[in-house]
Chain A
Amino acid sequence: MKPTGTLPLRAGLGLKPEHYQNALDAAEKAAGGGLWFEVHPENYMIDGGPRLAWLDAIAERYPLSLHGVGLSLGGPEKPDEAHLARLKKLVDRYNPASVSEHVAWSRLGSTYFADLLPPPPTRQTLQTLGDHIARTQDYLGRQILVENPALYLSLQGDISMVQLYVEAAQMAGAGLLFDLNNIYVCAHNVGGSTQDWLEAVPADQVGEIHLAGYTAQDREGDEVLIDSHGAPISGAVWALYESFITDAGPKPTLIERDENIPPFDELMKEAGQANTIMDSVARDRQYG
């Protein structure tokens, strides 16, 4: 099984169409040292045209990560073969440095629900999720990373969500994509603490980190933090990042923004902030 984890130990950006030209310009100016990009493969499951041409040009210049949202690994049904085939076509086309998906479900029967829905944290789910991850890896012929969910609902189950996440990946021989905004959102919304997650996630299995901003929603006195990817990364999540990187060492770190897209330079500043933290930790490890 071909492993993932060949992304640079630097910050990368979620690639938005608004920033295609900026991304190419950054490469031209040699300003993209260590920079990498991540896309949702579902947005590129097309036959041809400008969007694929842009991605071709960017993939020629930067390491690429494919981060799926549609395999429904946490659902009761096996991953959709047609979707896997479309994903494999992109994997074969780009040979990305990383392929990842979510611990979530989104499909039941013939309907795709266009959301990352929470699977029930049970031993039964652990078996099906582990099986679905393994099937995906077998189909793609490579290891994938799986991402911890952002939760808005506290669900009944006989294991914890972090157990489901870590043990399913271990069962399948997959790596972990650790989203620190998601653990902050989870701790606020459904209880537990971010420390529970930091302690339970084996750092050596983490192949990528996600950092994003959340949006607070007041639902008649019930404040819920939404994993909106629509705001700058919060100070609390930066603190979690520094804490995790201090223990784990530098990791490929994605700055995610899917709503309220700011200018490219603003996202590069957040990437710079992540790189500064990683550099500081690397120096401390070398000389400390």
Chain B
Amino acid sequence: MAEQREYYEKFAAVLRGGDASELGPWLADANHKERLAIHQGNFRVTASKAMQGIYKAVHRLVGDEYFEALMANFLADQPPKTATLTRYGEGFSDFLRAFAPVQEDLPWLAPVASLDWAWFAAYGAKNTPALTAKDLQGVAAELLPAHAPGLHPSVHLMRFSVTAYSIWRTNIEDEDVQAVPLETGQEWAVVWRENMQIRHQGIMRAQYIFLDAIGDGQALVEAWTAARQHDAQFDLAFEFAHWLNAGVFKGEKNG
């Protein structure tokens, strides 16, 4: 199969931007060499469209032309590995973080991309039930602080050294994008799916620490203790009720 294998390898090289004449011996009509650009375009456009569907805020922020240019670089760096394009692009945020032209001029773009991915991942996360107050009816009040519910699989907790959440939120929610000052410093956010609705919320640092500890499998009282190191007023009962109602804890029976 050596010769035939060569056909596929040469074709793949052309798709990666190689010289179309390499495939000449396999073309019955030499003029069709130029048509290989159709397949080169299909590869680029299909992958790019899949990514546009995921990275909506990034796309809106940078526009078609710049997004296409970013995609061309990303595609060359990290081509799809599987036919499931619904899973393609997870590494885009890290790619942007390491891509010098972006990091120098648009330092908030990689964090915004991580929020786009979080939204997308939450959208397709497993249908695990969230913990409800009803699930806890049999738990004695004094035992509740020792409870370690864990987080629902759709939950993504994020922290940013720039105002990435504010930038992302206005770009996915507002028809007219709001101006966001870049100098206001750190932000923390949580993205999750409540039933079939994607939710997101900007949170305080102590809330981030609390939820992060819960996600690590710690008990409520341990998470509360960690959060109180940054906010002495952190109210366990209030926070637990809030996040329980929001559906961010993992359901007991289907964990």
Contacts and interface: CB of A to CB of B under 8 A. Distances in A.
Contacts of A107: 83
Interface in A84-116: 86, 105-115
Given A53-B196, A113-B43, A115-B39, A48 B126 contact: yes
Interface stretch (B26-34, B91-99, B132-140): B26-34
A155 B27 contact: yes
A45 B80 contact: no
Interface residues of A, number: 52
Main secondary structure of the interface of A (DSSP, over half): mixed
A286 interface: no
A46 to B, nearest CB: 4
Nearest to B79: A111
A76 B81 contact: no
Given A48-B125, A76-B1, A152-B38, A108 B87 contact: no
Interface string B4-17: 11011101100100
Contacts of A52: 127
A153 B35 contact: yes
Nearest to B30: A154
Interface centre among A49, A108, A222 (most CB of B within 10 A): A49
A216 B219 CA distance: 63
Nearest to A69: B83
Contacts of B38: 152, 217, 224, 226
Contacts of A48: 124-128
Given A115-B42, A154-B27, A76 B196 contact: no
B193 interface: yes
B42 A224 contact: no
A156 B26 contact: yes
B103 interface: no
A110 B27 CA distance: 25
Given A80-B82, A113-B43, A154-B28, A224 B125 contact: no
A79 to B, nearest CB: 10
A125 B196 contact: no
A108 B86 contact: no
A245 B115 CA distance: 51
B123 interface: yes
Interface of A: 42-43, 45-53, 68-72, 75-76, 80, 82-83, 86, 105-115, 117, 120, 122, 124-125, 128, 152-157, 190, 217, 219-220, 222, 224, 226
Given A51-B123, A124-B1, A222-B34, 13 more contacts: A48-B127, A71-B83, A76-B1, A76-B5, A80-B82, A105-B8, A111-B12, A114-B43, A153-B29, A154-B27, A154-B28, A156-B27, A219-B37
15 contacts: A46-B124, A47-B124, A48-B125, A49-B127, A76-B1, A76-B5, A110-B81, A112-B79, A113-B15, A117-B11, A122-B4, A153-B32, A154-B29, A222-B34, A226-B38
